[in-house]
């Protein structure tokens, strides 16, 4: 049952007077449950409890934390159909997507549990003492990664499970040893409450300290901003728009003690269509890209919103085929009327720019909150001169840029802002002729794809999900995959520390059996 209350650690709390409801975009009506926004007192209580829990939680073994993460996965699964129905009613997304995203969320939690069980992620590094070294003796130095403290997590509207309450940021922060306070997304607060209750059930079952997790409701930006400003918060994980991510990043930088906001933001994910590929497989490319642009009603951060090619008859044919294919696809529902309105507003801004041609625009009426897909075209000169055309239109929209030649194509890529992904569609023989274009693209993105689509992000250690600003605020880290844990830790050295007081990861006899670097050599051996 949904209470609409905040979770301050293991306690329900609803001291505020500000309430709100979520919205069912398929039925175009408000959902029934009433949520109470967190007050300043509740924000402070959650952060203080997290700070106290940190003292206990950080010292709990990796094996016990792994038990906690696995238990969260089990409890989420145990929510069964209630969770799936709630997800659908608050997002308008179909049941199959809800089930798939639940699987991904559970998979992420379990993969971090595996990382903890194996244990080598702490990067234990030991340089043994050299008491006889001349002219100065060398100390015994031992370094490992340790957690930084309470982390605030903001989820995105378009992933109510995998990038939200128990999503990748929460899973990686809890794995690292940091307590988490989630700023619940106002569009899916019911889904958030169910998942929060699963996390807290798991915390109690596995003996985790009260305050290791809290979930706070809000219908506006105030609760999030107060959390980011709170002196006991040590880092922030954000997934959402550029506007939101940058505002929180700036706020965190202005604190007396500045903290890092790891913000994963929007992207247009350029796709470079090299000439031979367009010529030899234009038709199948058009089908594939019509599907990718409209997948999830275009509401993916990896949506291919920008296609770049060199003017030719083949490119004109491709644009026609893409337009024909995209108009065959039935429009689908967006996550919320506000997102639908913003899509229409941003699309209208884009198509009203000088030099834009509309190649496809779904013509018929649709149900409320359903998005009409659109493809536009523009020439390279116009695109280069107008940065408004470079911005993300979150939804089923793409622009095809027709460049004069390969030099202009390279210039266009060099002018782009940082992106999550870049894709090269090429004939196997032609890619080597375009090394400058490949290199320019590599410099703008976090992940490069050959003859594929950027949508559909695999969760595995080699995945990089992030990219140069403004795709994310720190391109050195990924938000997906095992290495996401590194955002919540800091390296820490012990110098000549009493052996019996060292953490297990750094003890001589390597009781955890992890891989360590000892005097420059990677080894699982003990000293
Ligand atoms: P959003 O509007 O930025 O909201 C994300 C969260 O941030 C919400 O909880 C929102 O709270 C909060 N927020 C926004 N502006 C804020 C501010 N100035 N101060 C404090 N809190 C603020 O984004 P969304 O609609 O949920 O998601 C769509 C966007 O996310 C798209 O641009 C998409 O590309 C991007 N996205 C990126 C990734 C990635 O991995 N890079 C993944 C998914 C989505 P309120 O709603 O209460 O304002």
Residue 388 inside a domain? The answer is yes
Do both 407 and 428 map to the same domain? yes
Cα of 156 to ligand 1 centre, how many Å? 5
The predicted-structure confidence for 28-82, as pLDDT tens digits, reads as follows 999 999 999 999 999 999 999 999 999 999 999 999 999 999 999 999 999 999 9
Angle at alpha carbon of residue 186, lines to 180 and 188, rounded to 5°: 85
Contact 46, 9 (CB under 8 A): yes
Average pLDDT over residues 310-332: 98
H or E element, residue 242: helix 242-253
The predicted-structure confidence for 226-277, as pLDDT tens digits, reads as follows 999 999 999 999 999 999 999 999 999 999 999 999 999 999 999 999 999 9
Residue 323 inside a domain? The answer is yes
Contact 309, 273 (CB under 8 A): yes
Handedness of CA 416, 420, 425, 426 (dihedral sign): positive
Do both 256 and 277 map to the same domain? no
Do both 160 and 306 map to the same domain? no
Please state, in angstroms and rounded to a whole number, the distance separating the CA atoms of residues 165 and 188.
10
Question: Residue 375 belongs to a domain with what CATH number?
Answer: 3.40.309.10
Whose C-alpha lies nearest to ligand 1, atom 17?
244
pLDDT at 506 over 90: yes
Identify the three-state secondary structure at position 176.
helix
Residue 519 inside a domain? The answer is no
At 422 the pLDDT is 98
Residue 18 inside a domain? The answer is yes
The predicted-structure confidence for 470-485, as pLDDT tens digits, reads as follows 999 999 999 999 999 9
Q: Binning pLDDT at 50, 70 and 90, where does residue 327 land? A: very high
Question: Residue 260 belongs to a domain with what CATH number?
Answer: 3.40.605.10
pLDDT at 1 over 90: no
The predicted-structure confidence for 350-399, as pLDDT tens digits, reads as follows 999 999 999 999 999 999 999 999 999 999 999 999 999 999 999 999 99
For 324, the token pair is 């024909």
CA 393 to chain centre: 18
Do both 120 and 223 map to the same domain? yes
Average pLDDT, the chain: 98
At 168 the pLDDT is 98
Please state, in angstroms and rounded to a whole number, the distance separating the CA atoms of residues 352 and 250.
31
Do both 199 and 322 map to the same domain? no
Residue 424 inside a domain? The answer is yes
Domain count, the chain: 2
Identify the three-state secondary structure at position 347.
helix
Residue 137 inside a domain? The answer is yes
- Reference 308, options 238, 229, 410; nearest CA is 410
Do both 344 and 249 map to the same domain? no
Handedness of CA 73, 77, 79, 85 (dihedral sign): positive
What CA–CA distances, in Å, run from 282 to 61, 84, 275, 312?
55, 39, 10, 12
Do both 441 and 353 map to the same domain? yes
Please state, in angstroms and rounded to a whole number, the distance separating the CA atoms of residues 137 and 442.
46
> From the alpha carbon of 264, which atom of ligand 1 is closest?
41
The whole model's pTM is what?
A: 0.97
> From the alpha carbon of 185, which atom of ligand 1 is closest?
9
Kindly state the DSSP code that residue 470 receives in the 8-state scheme.
T
- Reference 386, options 360, 358, 352; nearest CA is 352
Residue 498 inside a domain? The answer is no
Do both 289 and 415 map to the same domain? yes
Residues with a CB atom less than 6 Å from ligand 1: 154, 156-159, 163, 183, 185-186, 218, 220-221, 224-225, 239-241, 243-244, 247-248, 264-266, 301, 392, 394, 420, 465, 479
Do both 313 and 285 map to the same domain? yes
Please state, in angstroms and rounded to a whole number, the distance separating the CA atoms of residues 469 and 246.
10
What CA–CA distances, in Å, run from 371 to 105, 174, 453?
27, 37, 21
The predicted-structure confidence for 143-169, as pLDDT tens digits, reads as follows 999 999 999 999 999 999 999 999 999
For 181, phi and psi rounded to 5 degrees? -115, 120
Cα of 167 to ligand 1 centre, how many Å? 14
Q: DSSP alpha helices (H): ranges in 386-477? A: 406-415, 435-442
Whose C-alpha lies nearest to ligand 1, atom 20?
221
Average pLDDT over residues 132-140: 97
Do both 308 and 259 map to the same domain? no
For 146, the token pair is 């340790």
Contact 58, 147 (CB under 8 A): yes
Can you give the residue range of the structural domain that contains 337?
271-450
Cα of 505 to ligand 1 centre, how many Å? 38
* Residues 6 or more apart in contact with residue 340 via CB below 8 angstroms: 25, 334, 369, 370, 371
* Residues 6 or more apart in contact with residue 19 via CB below 8 angstroms: 4, 34, 35, 36, 37
Contact 419, 440 (CB under 8 A): no
For 129, phi and psi rounded to 5 degrees? -70, 150
Kindly state the DSSP code that residue 356 receives in the 8-state scheme.
-
Do both 363 and 443 map to the same domain? yes
Cα of 153 to ligand 1 centre, how many Å? 11
Beta bridge partners, 13, equal: 6
Contact 340, 359 (CB under 8 A): no
Cα of 376 to ligand 1 centre, how many Å? 26
Give me the residue label for tokens 């996401």.
484
> From the alpha carbon of 159, which atom of ligand 1 is closest?
43
Q: Binning pLDDT at 50, 70 and 90, where does residue 428 land? A: confident
At 416 the pLDDT is 98
Whose C-alpha lies nearest to ligand 1, atom 23?
240
Annotated catalytic sites, by residue?
264, 301
H or E element, residue 42: helix 40-57
Whose C-alpha lies nearest to ligand 1, atom 27?
240
Do both 20 and 122 map to the same domain? yes
- Reference 427, options 317, 279, 315, 271; nearest CA is 279
Q: How many helices (H) and strands (E) does the chain have?
A: 14, 25
Query: Which one of 241, 265, 420, 475 would you pick to mutate in the ligand 1 pocket, going by the greatest count of ligand atoms within 8 A of its CB?
Result: 241
Residue 322 inside a domain? The answer is yes
Share of the chain above pLDDT 90, in %: 99
Cα of 235 to ligand 1 centre, how many Å? 17
| Beta strands, E only, 61-212 | 125-127, 141-147, 151-154, 180-183
Q: Binning pLDDT at 50, 70 and 90, where does residue 525 land? A: very high
Q: Binning pLDDT at 50, 70 and 90, where does residue 406 land? A: very high
């Amino acid at each position: 049952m949904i209470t609409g209350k905040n979770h301050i650690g293991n306690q329900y709390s609803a001291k505020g007077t500000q309430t709100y409801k979520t919205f069912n975009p398929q039925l175009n009506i408000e959902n029934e449950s009433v949520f109470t926004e967190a007050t300043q007192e509740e924000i402070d209580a959650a952060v203080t409890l997290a700070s106290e829990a940190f003292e206990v939680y950080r010292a709990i073994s990796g094996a016990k934390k792994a038990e906690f993460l696995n238990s969260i996965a089990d409890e989420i699964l145990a929510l069964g159909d209630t969770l799936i129905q709630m997800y659908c009613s608050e997002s308008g997304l179909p049941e199959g997507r809800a089930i798939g995203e639940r699987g991904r969320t559970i998979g992420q939690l379990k993969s971090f549990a595996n990382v903890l069980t194996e244990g080598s992620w702490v990067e234990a590094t030991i340089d043994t003492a050299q008491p006889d070294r001349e002219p100065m003796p060398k100390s015994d130095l031992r370094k490992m990664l340790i957690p930084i403290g309470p982390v605030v997590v903001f989820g995105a509207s378009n992933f109510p499970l995998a990038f939200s309450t128990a999503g990748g940021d929460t899973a990686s922060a809890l794995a690292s040893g940091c307590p988490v306070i989630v700023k619940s997304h106002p569009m899916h607060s019911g889904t958030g409450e169910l998942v929060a209750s699963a996390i807290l059930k798991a915390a109690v079952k596995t003996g985790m300290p009260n305050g290791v997790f809290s979930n706070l409701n809000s219908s506006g930006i105030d609760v999030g901003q107060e959390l980011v400003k709170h002196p006991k918060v040590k880092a922030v994980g954000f997934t959402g728009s550029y506007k939101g991510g940058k505002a929180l990043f700036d706020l965190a930088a202005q604190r007396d003690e500045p903290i890092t906001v790891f913000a994963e933001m929007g992207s247009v994910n350029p796709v470079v269509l090299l000439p031979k590929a367009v010529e030899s497989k234009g038709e199948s490319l058009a089908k594939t890209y019509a599907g990718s642009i409209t997948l999830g009603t275009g509401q993916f951060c990896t949506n291919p919103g920008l296609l770049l090619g060199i003017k030719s008859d083949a490119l004109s044919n491709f644009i026609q085929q893409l337009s024909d294919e995209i108009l065959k696809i039935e429009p689908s529902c967006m996550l919320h009327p506000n997102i639908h309105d913003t899509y229409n507003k941003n699309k209208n801004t884009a198509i009203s720019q000088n030099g834009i041609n509309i190649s496809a625009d779904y013509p018929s009426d649709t149900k409320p909150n359903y998005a009409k897909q659109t493809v536009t075209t523009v020439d390279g000169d116009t695109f280069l001169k107008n940065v408004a055309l470079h911005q993300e239109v979150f939804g089923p929209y793409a622009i095809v840029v027709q460049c004069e030649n390969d030099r202009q194509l390279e210039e266009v890529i060099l002018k782009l802002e940082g992106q999550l992904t870049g894709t090269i569609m090429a004939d196997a023989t032609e890619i080597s002729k375009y090394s400058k274009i490949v290199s320019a693209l590599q410099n703008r993105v976090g992940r490069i794809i050959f003859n594929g689509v950027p949508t559909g992000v695999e969760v595995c250690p080699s995945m990089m999900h992030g990219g140069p600003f403004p795709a994310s605020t720190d391109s050195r880290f990924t938000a997906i995959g095992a290495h996401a844990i590194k955002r919540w830790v800091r390296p820490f050295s012990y110098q000549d520390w009493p052996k019996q007081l060292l953490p297990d990861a750094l003890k001589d006899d390597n009781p955890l059996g992890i891989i360590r670097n000892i005097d420059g050599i990677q080894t699982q051996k003990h000293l």
